[in-house]
Amino acid sequence: MASQPILLDTLSSAAPVSADLLDRVTRQLAATAEAYDRSGEFPRANFDLLAREGLIGLTVSRDLGGRGASLSDAIRVLGAVAKGEPSTALILFMTYHYHASHAKNGGRAQGWPKDIYERLARDAVAGRGLIGGLRVEPELGTPVRGGLPATVARRTADGWAISGTKIYSTGSTGLDWFSVWARTDEQNPRVGNFLVKADSAGIEIEPVWDHLGMRATVSHAVHFTDTPTPLDHAVDIRRPEQWASAAADPGLAIWNALSISTIYDGVARAARDWLRAYLNDRVPTNLGASLATLPRVQEKFGEIEALLQVNRTLIRDAAARHDAGDPPGAVEVNSIKYVATANAIRAVEIGLELTGNPGISRKNPLERHYRDVLCSRIHSPQTDTILIAAGRAALGN
């Protein structure tokens, strides 16, 4: 069910997001993270919290009431949210990215009609209006690797009727808007994003998401059967060949790569914090001191710290360069995603090595953190795409 407006009781839109606020958000989200992992439900209470704190419209431009946050500011918030409950962060990232893209050009970025975009922006500022991109299909897979979608938008007297199936639809049951990747039924089809209200007729959400981790993303299958949407809600449709240049947009690459890196780095930091407490509290009778006093344990914990420090440096530097108008290229920033997510996985694995059986017990959160952090590998662009591009660039091909 779509979220309801929430009266904000926090700072003005122009005020910075304080470290104290982020720490409080992390702790509140962490308190129910296990419950959402077990239930696999959409984390509605988490988004109610974020709405009360004025964080849904973080990247909406200030002239529309948002905070106009930079990429650096956005990843600070995403990191804090992910450290508490990463599924919430992944859903939130999609809304952040849509608004960051539009804010660059007065609501006209990506070809969206200005009035439609402003409606979504003001909804986000009011604590609702979550939007997610539905792109992956059973046969096509992800469109990042090419091909036309099977989902079809057919012209009608009133606008469009959309039919098809999307899978891995992050946020499915809790979103207010779907941005559906579809092709038109024209003789020379166009491809792109059709904006669909989540409570429109002809939508069925099939609860099939039952994965290793990130369970509260509710990434179910969404079926559309002649689902109506107004004519002007074909917010960005182009000839297929025109999307090649759009895919190369460095802004798109950097927001995706650094946000994904930040979210899973947040998972690893949550694991690190739990591990630190465990190692200090655990005092084996044959040792007479905590595990944290052992040089071998200190060495391995130092390895975790080094991995996370590299992540922090890479992510923050790239975001700062973007905000300063000198962003790294797609090859470089996707390489950061490759390194940062691998470091996050390794950091949690070290925790499992140090804890043994307690680390993989469901009564301890380390087991959940490990399942969640492994999901970093499936996000586009995936490792083969990243490394082939990096290799070609380095070889001059």
**323-365 confidence digits (pLDDT tens):** 999 999 999 999 999 999 999 999 999 999 999 999 999 999 9
pLDDT above 70 covers what percent of the chain? 90
Q: What are the residues whose beta carbons fall under 8 Å from the beta carbon of 207, sequence distance 6 or more?
A: 218, 220
Domains 19-129 and 134-244 share a fold: no
Q: How confident is the model at residue 202 (pLDDT cuts 50, 70, 90)?
A: very high
- Pick the closest to residue 176 from 103, 254, 94 (CA basis): 94
CA dihedral 308, 314, 317, 320 (to 10 degrees): -90
3-class secondary structure, 154: strand
Which ranges constitute the DSSP H helices of 10-160? 19-30, 33-39, 44-52, 71-84, 86-103, 114-125
pLDDT above 90 covers what percent of the chain? 81
Residue 393 pLDDT > 90: yes
Give residue 10's identity as a one-letter amino acid code: T
- Pick the closest to residue 264 from 76, 131, 89, 38 (CA basis): 89
C-alpha span between 102 and 283 (Å, rounded): 54
pLDDT digits (tens, 9 = 90+) for 253-265: 899 999 999 999 9
Residue 180 pLDDT > 90: yes
CA 314 from centroid of its chain's CA atoms: 18
The region of weakest confidence among 3-12, 159-168, 239-248 is: 3-12
Domain 134-244: give its CATH code. Answer: 2.40.110.10
Q: What is the mean pLDDT of residues 22-31?
A: 98
Of 3.90.660.10, 1.20.140.10, 1.10.3720.10, 3.30.420.40, which CATH number belongs to 248-395? 1.20.140.10
- Pick the closest to residue 137 from 122, 147, 126 (CA basis): 147
Q: Which residue has the tokens 């991109």?
A: 133
Predicted local confidence at residue 145, as pLDDT: 66
C-alpha span between 260 and 93 (Å, rounded): 9
Q: How confident is the model at residue 245 (pLDDT cuts 50, 70, 90)?
A: low
> Where exactly are the structural domains of the chain?
19-129, 134-244, 248-395
Q: What is the mean pLDDT of residues 146-154?
A: 90
C-alpha span between 236 and 182 (Å, rounded): 11
Residue 5 pLDDT > 50: no
Predicted local confidence at residue 144, as pLDDT: 67
C-alpha span between 145 and 141 (Å, rounded): 8
Q: What is the mean pLDDT of residues 290-295?
A: 97
Which homologous superfamily is 19-129 in? Acyl-CoA dehydrogenase/oxidase, N-terminal domain (1.10.540.10)
Q: How confident is the model at residue 286 (pLDDT cuts 50, 70, 90)?
A: confident
With contact defined as beta carbons under 8 Å apart, do 33 and 365 qualify?
yes
